[in-house]
Amino acid sequence: MGKLTGKLIAIVTENGFEEVELTSPKAALEREGASVHIVSPQKDKVVSWDKKNWGKDFSVDKQIRDASVEDYDAVLIPGGVINPDSLRRSNEAVQFISSFFEQGKPVASICHGPQVLIETGKLKGRNVTSFFSIKTDLINAGANWSDEECVVDQGLVTSRNPDDLPAFNKKMVEEILEGKHEAQKTK
């Protein structure tokens, strides 16, 4: 039995997510005993981006319109350039992710993934990091951006790129273990 046995985590993604930014955190969560669902606006499958080309297909466990935040203990948004741009155009995805903040549940996002978090309107005054090319977007959304491998702010876990996955995965597991963060609700 792992530390996260009994926990259910949603990975919210569209097509074009950076493959390792889904597979590495998913494996880390499952090693700790968590169950993981891929939740997407897509119905049956999503296709990854693997460095410079389309990668593997992954089955969608639950379509976003059928997902309920109450069923999940935390949410993860992988990066990639295509994925967050598509997700932020989905009102259902943005509302689903926003509800994790409202309920004080952990939110983890890496690389370009925090672009989706901008759409939630929940980043004002929050400490974050990301891939450097979206730094200005996050600052304009009111976030405090810093160039660190992993930034944790009351249940919000962000990292810059795939090189940061070991630190990201570790901190994500820690924040899920801590459970709800009341301070996350008030920011």
150 is catalytic: no
The top-level CATH class assigned to 8-186 is: alpha beta
187 residues of the chain, pLDDT tens digit each: 799 999 999 999 999 999 999 999 999 999 999 999 999 999 999 999 998 899 999 999 999 999 999 999 999 999 999 999 999 999 999 999 999 999 999 999 999 999 999 999 999 999 999 999 999 999 999 999 999 999 999 999 999 999 999 999 999 999 999 988 766 665 5
**Rounded distance, CA 32 to CA 55, Å?**
26
Of 37, 111, 150, 181, the catalytic one is 111
Helix orientation angle between 165-178 and 19-31, rounded to the nearest 10 degrees:
50
Q: CB under 8 Å to 186, separation ≥6 — which residues?
A: none
Which pTM does this prediction carry? 0.95
Q: What span, in angstroms and rounded, lies between the C-alpha atoms of 145 and 128?
A: 5
DSSP-assigned letter for residue 153: E
Q: 75 phi and psi, to 5 degrees?
A: -130, 145
- Domain ranges for the chain, please list them: 8-186
Cα–Cα dist 140/161, whole Å: 21
